Structure 1
């Protein structure tokens, strides 16, 4: 897994660039996060595009730790007003494309789970 792919993932999410996001993920992509697990690239993209409570967010990446087949990204998720929603560590897995991300957070902000 390359750092560039991880950075491109956050940029695509933040910009709502779902075609670019699709290119970065394997069809079997799984996102395991504290509040839910999204299985499959299409389910993940659908959630990001149509279901997440806050779409105007920004991932500030503070550090990237690269391993052999995975990497970890530490950062802060901010809202449109630059308020901190949560701190996170995402562990990305995959080779040419991202096959899984496991998210660890300091807390799940209530505004991210309200629907």
Structure 2
């Protein structure tokens, strides 16, 4: 699967609360580093998104997606009822057709 399609599926899975689809596109060793926390594996990340996500009713609006081989950069906004809560920049790495690493920055 093309890298841009893979990351779009990632955001769709989050917005649709489709945690089975989310788990399928993340490698077992998936990690996410963000300013407020780090997830060291796919299981911890999916569990957090399913059970502890602070505001599960948000949507991700992608402003730009830039791909270079196995790396993808995404700039976007998280909204709730059409209001922007924050902007983000996500940097993904793909391994064996799955998302393996994510660095997230927000403001």
Please tell me the TM-score bracket, short chain as reference.
over 0.9
SS at match of 1:55: coil
Deviating above 6 A after TM superposition, structure 1's stretches of 4 or more consecutive aligned residues are none
- What does residue 26 of structure 1 align with? 27
Deviation at 1:18, TM superposition (A): 0.4
State the TM-score, normalizing by the size of structure 2.
Answer: 0.94
Deviation at 1:25, TM superposition (A): 0.2
- What does residue 93 of structure 1 align with? 93
Q: Counting strand residues as a fraction of each chain, which structure ranks higher?
A: 2
- Measure the CA separation in 2 of the matches of 1:44 and 1:82: 26
State the TM-score, normalizing by the size of structure 1.
Answer: 0.88
- Measure the CA separation in 2 of the matches of 1:98 and 1:21: 10
Residue ranges of structure 1 left out of the alignment (5+ in a row): 107-115
Deviation at 1:10, TM superposition (A): 0.1
- What does residue 50 of structure 1 align with? 51
